[in-house]
Structure 1
Amino acid sequence: MFAVILSTLTIVVCYVYYRQLQKVRKEYENAKAVVDDIVFSFNRQLKQEAERVGLIACKVDAAISKGDNAKKAVEDVCRKVESLEGRVNSLASEKEVNTKRVEEIAKTLQESINVQRDLAARLAAVEERTKYPAVASDAKIEAVIPIKKEKALAPLTDTEVSVLDMLASEGPKTAPEIKERIKLSREHTARLMKKLYEEGYLDRDTSKIPFRYSVKEEMRRLLKRTESESAQQQS
């Protein structure tokens, strides 16, 4: 009887133990499945992270490459800037030199202009004196200069004689009026009239400008006498 009870207890204990083993095994399998899922998920995440790390590494490599290129570009720009600085400094030096040259040229040009103005003023004064010789301001008709006998008509040119004849027949005239008649330049006419006046052939009215020239009365009589003698010889 005792053996039967013991056997029964043993069987019951074995059955319970078996059921516990089945339960533990089932829990183990469930836990293993969960662990496998966790490991699979972890491996998948790890793979994704590895891919991300690889992508980041590629980007880092690309960035490093771009950084190297950018560094080279910056170095090139720095070299170009240094070259430009050298050119700018050279241009600045040339500018200073050119500025000094321009100032010297401007100074020389101003001196030339001043000299030209001075020469123009002197030339104008000379022309004025040549055209209108200086006379006493209070004299309207200059003093009579006596005709020199040895300088009658013989030393005169045909143009000078024609001027005397014109003044004797038409009356006093100015140098510009005489110039238009004898077709000479203003300077030539002025010299001619000055010569005739200084040698005593003409009188000069200085009361207004331009001066008026007229044949002296003595010269007028001499011209008339010469014309009369020529007419008598022809007759």
Structure 2
Amino acid sequence: MLTTIGFDADDTLWHNEAFFRLTQDRFVNLLADHADAGQLHDRLLAAEHRNIGQYGFGVKGFTLSMIETAIEVTEGRVPATVIGELIAAGREMLEHPIDLLPHARATVTTLAARYRVVLITKGDLLDQERKLAQSGLGDLFHGVEIVSHKTAASYTSIFARHGTGADQAMMVGNSLKSDVIPALEAGSWGVHVPHGVTWVLEFADPPTAHRRFHAIADLGALPDLIELL
């Protein structure tokens, strides 16, 4: 029996990663005289991976990783104007308008009438709260959880707090690594909704052999999938 549905936010309900890609291209252009694009991408990714434990996920950590990488590749000679532009780029990301993905509002509205729906997202608290407020979806959710990491333990705790347990819950999201696999490990259903742009650190192989794993093309297919469970 399904009683509770968790939704990821970024790149599940609204666009997000595309803004990181655009800013990363801006970063590469600013430092083009110091390293080639491939090297800059690799160095920035390594900095992000290295800094997740300290900065967490989100724009602020990404901005600090850009600045750190700029200092490294220029051996400390990066101009203050470049640092200023990177800070400005991060601020612009924090101010970008929310653009809902297709079927997001209709699907959440439909399912909220029949199930407890919970927004479960990770990242910077203030930024995620801003995006939820601007999305216009906030009143549809029975609960909101902004966490540092998505693990089987966190899903177990969240679905016990907001529903009737992980075994009667479903997690829906674009990230196999964060949204689907740990939810399956907690005993929930895990539904993958692929997004065209996915952060490389979120890649994982689909757990196709798991009986509670499902994949759909977009959120519009979710109500019909639930009817078939």
- Above 0.5 in TM-score? no
Larger strand share, 1 or 2: 2
Higher radius of gyration, 1 or 2: 1
Q: Which structure shows the bigger proportion of residues in helix conformation?
A: 1
